[in-house]
């Protein structure tokens, strides 16, 4: 063989080997990505949704928190959803109990709308019960709903 043919043959072999290795590297990493996945972590999620005074309307921030909680639950089995509506001690006890029930309903609807997988719902409203300190001061941070998503691996 003359030098030109040998050089051409070596170049062709090198190019072919390079393409083969490049193809293997891409295929191997793609295959590895399909096989090696991070395990699904299904830990309970607890969030608090705060409301304006005398309101059961969920704020944009509250919707974002609920949406993120529902998103975390999508890869898991939702065993139970606990929603507890609370109210402060301002106003009549009966009105505060009704307000906390409305907050529970708003949160439940928002969770379902955000795509939360089906699960058993445990809904409760406490009204203003526990909304004052021993000194009789009102606790404004009681204008909320406490939400717990009890999750398990699928």
Give the separation between CA 39 and CA 31, rounded to whole angstroms: 17
pLDDT average, residue stretch 124-138: 84
**Pairwise CA distance, residues 27 & 42, whole Å:** 31
Tokens 């009890």 belong to 150
Quick one: average pLDDT of 72-96? 92
pLDDT of residue 33: 62
Model pLDDT, residue 9: 46
Phi, psi angles (nearest 5°) of residue 12: -65, -45
Higher pLDDT, 118 or 100: 100
What separation, in Å, do the N-terminal and C-terminal C-alpha atoms of the chain show?
A: 66
Q: pLDDT tens digits, residue range 22-75?
A: 554 555 666 666 666 666 679 999 999 999 999 999 999 999 999 999 998 988
pTM over 0.75: no
Give the whole-angstrom CA distance, residue 67 versus residue 115. Answer: 8
Assigned token pair, 111: 């969770």
Separation between Cα atoms, residue 7 and residue 13, nearest integer Å: 10
């Amino acid at each position: 063989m003359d030098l030109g043919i040998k050089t051409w043959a070596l170049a062709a072999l090198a190019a072919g080997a390079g393409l083969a290795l490049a193809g293997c590297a891409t295929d191997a990493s793609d295959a590895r990505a399909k096989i090696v996945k991070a395990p699904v972590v299904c830990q309970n999620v607890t969030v608090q949704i705060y409301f304006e005074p005398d309101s059961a309307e969920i704020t944009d921030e509250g919707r974002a928190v609920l949406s993120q909680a529902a998103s975390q639950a999508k890869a898991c089995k939702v065993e139970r959803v606990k929603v507890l509506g609370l109210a402060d001690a301002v106003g009549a006890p009966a009105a505060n109990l009704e307000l906390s029930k409305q907050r529970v309903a708003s949160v439940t609807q928002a969770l379902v709308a955000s795509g939360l997988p089906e699960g058993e719902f445990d809904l409760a409203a406490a009204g203003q019960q526990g909304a004052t300190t021993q000194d009789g001061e009102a606790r404004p941070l009681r204008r909320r709903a406490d939400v717990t998503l009890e999750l398990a691996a699928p």
